[in-house]
Amino acid sequence: MGLRHIERPAAGEPAGALVFFHGYYGIPEDFLAFLDKVDPDRRLHGFLPQGPRPLSEGRASWFDFDAPALEQLAPVSEWLDSLPFPAERMIFGGWSQGTATAYVLALAAGRPCPAGVLALGGSLPEDPPLDLERALPRVAIAHGTEDEAVPVERARRARDLLRRAGADVLYRESAIGHLIDQDMVPDLRAFVATLP
């Protein structure tokens, strides 16, 4: 498919894939080093796609809020389905708007369910309606209590909703703003190491 992306190969035969979605006004290169932090042994083949909605200076976003997210993510959905890994051997991760993207692509009705979701500094969207009646992926949520862009209440709401639906949720928060707390990386690394 025509979606621009970067690949970070596994060290050997890949156990699966880690697909990580950048945030609003992001590019894939922003998170290349982060893949090595959460998967230092390179068990997984890394994919870093670029959002389909161009912004200035070569940066991009995943969707606007004036139309259904899943419809806008159709090119990304098709690209995911073209990857040489089944969903059950994939982890979807994201930062900020990329977290909403990961949630939509992991939980929307009609989409195959990945092994796990890394939800960092983002929120669980209300559109499209999510399919929480099936077996759900494991989810790791990390969020700053001082986040000025995505209030921590949104992460807590996602945690509570997913736990009520039966998902295994690892939840961590710390007193930082709209950043990834590096002190949380060991927990995220342990989460990734147990999947897929």
Q: Which residue has the higher pLDDT, 186 or 69?
A: 186
- Rounded mean pLDDT of 48-69? 91
- What's the pLDDT score for residue 42? 98
- pLDDT the model gives residue 67: 78
Do the Cβ atoms of 157 and 119 come closer than 8 Å? Answer: no
pLDDT over threshold 80, residue 107: yes
What values do phi and psi take at 95, rounded to 5? Answer: -115, 130
pLDDT of residue 129: 77
Q: Is the model's pLDDT at 196 over the cut of 90?
A: no
Spatial separation of the C-alpha atoms in residues 94 and 85, rounded to whole Å: 19
Domain boundaries, the chain: 5-193
The CATH architecture that domain 5-193 belongs to is 3-Layer(aba) Sandwich (3.40)
- Asked whether the beta carbons of 16 and 46 are under 8 A apart, the reply is no
Helix (H, G, I), strand (E, B) or coil at 141: strand
* Number of CB atoms found within 10 A of residue 10's CB: 18
Mean residue pLDDT of the chain comes to 95
Task: Find the mean pLDDT for residues 117-132.
Answer: 89
Q: pLDDT band for 66, please (50, 70, 90 cuts).
A: confident
Structure confidence at residue 144 (pLDDT): 98
Tens of pLDDT, residues 84-93: 999 999 999 9
Per-residue pLDDT of 30-39, as tens digits, reads 999 999 999 9
pLDDT(65) > 80: no
pLDDT recorded at residue 93: 98
Given pLDDT bands bounded at 50, 70 and 90, which one contains residue 126? confident
Taking Cα atoms as reference points, which of 40, 19, 8 lies closest to residue 114?
19
1 pLDDT higher than 60: no
